[in-house]
Amino acid sequence: MKKKRLLIGLCVLILGGCSAQPQSAPLPDPVSAPSALPEKSVPQSALMSDSPISPTNLDDYLFLKDVLYFDLRSPAQLAEEGSVAGFVNIPFYGVLVDYERKDNVLYRMTKVRDDQGQVIAQMGDVGSFSANYEESESLIRDLFPQDQPIVFISTAGVEAAYMICLLQQLGYDGSKLYNAGTFSNGMGNIIAYKDYPDAKYHVPGTNVYTVSSQFLWSETLTPAADE
């Protein structure tokens, strides 16, 4: 696939005090690692509760050939909380999607109602996303190849579900899109990856004072007409 467009992340870290030294993640064990992702029991579900991959078994499915891994948290969260080795950071909010039309953000999501005022799509559901730019869909397709399995992780698994719904709205096969759940916000019996004691590929964050980031697209974007 030709990569005509690139997402450029400019991140400035202002470190305070004695920052922790970067630590290298251990290499995966090629003998015991599975060779493919498990099948989803509910193929089109975006929910982490329906996903066969969770914070407690994510390590078993890392570094697989032809599988893509994306972390949807903000750069500030990665710097403070750490990350999972092998995941690429593309923030969901403020870059891919937001609640309203914003400059340089590709999509906005809103609650959709029919002519009688009945809700037909909740915010974040398939059908609730509107493109802010004429190039939004093609940029999403450049970033997230449609022919490869993709694993998403986010703060609490919510943004990962939204991202899967956006891709399904664009025609992606939900059976290839996995919600690995929560990286940092566990709840009840749901443990976050960073808090899982057996997590082998948690790359610690640093003592960051402030993180300032700006994401720019490498081409001029054409505002889409309001529907």
Q: Which residue has the tokens 């697209």?
A: 217
Is residue 124 a contact partner of residue 162, using CB atoms and an 8 Å limit?
yes
Q: Is 29 helix (H, G, I), strand (E, B) or coil?
A: coil
Q: Helices marked H in 45-123 — which ranges?
A: 75-81
Instruction: Look up the pTM and report it.
Output: 0.83
Cα 176 from Cα 10, distance rounded (Å):
30
Q: Is 113 helix (H, G, I), strand (E, B) or coil?
A: strand
Angle, CA 79 vertex, CA 76 and CA 84 arms, to 5°: 115
Q: Is 46 helix (H, G, I), strand (E, B) or coil?
A: coil
pLDDT by position in tens, the chain (length 227): 544 444 444 343 333 334 445 556 666 555 566 899 999 999 999 999 999 999 999 999 999 999 999 999 999 999 999 999 999 999 999 999 999 999 999 999 998 888 888 887 889 999 999 999 999 999 999 999 999 999 999 999 999 999 999 999 999 999 999 999 999 999 888 999 999 999 999 999 886 555 566 777 867 899 998 76
pLDDT in tens, 128-156: 999 999 999 999 999 999 999 999 999 99
Distance (Å) of CA 225 to CA 80, 94, 102, 135, 204: 38, 20, 14, 12, 43
CATH 3.40.250.10 fits 39-214, yes or no: yes
CA dihedral (164, 77, 183, 59) positive or negative: positive
| Token code pair at residue 127 | 């059908």
Domain borders along the chain are: 39-214
The β-bridge relationship of strands 150-154 and 129-131 is unpaired
Q: Is 155 exposed, middle or buried (0-12, 13-18, 19+ CB in 10 A)?
A: buried
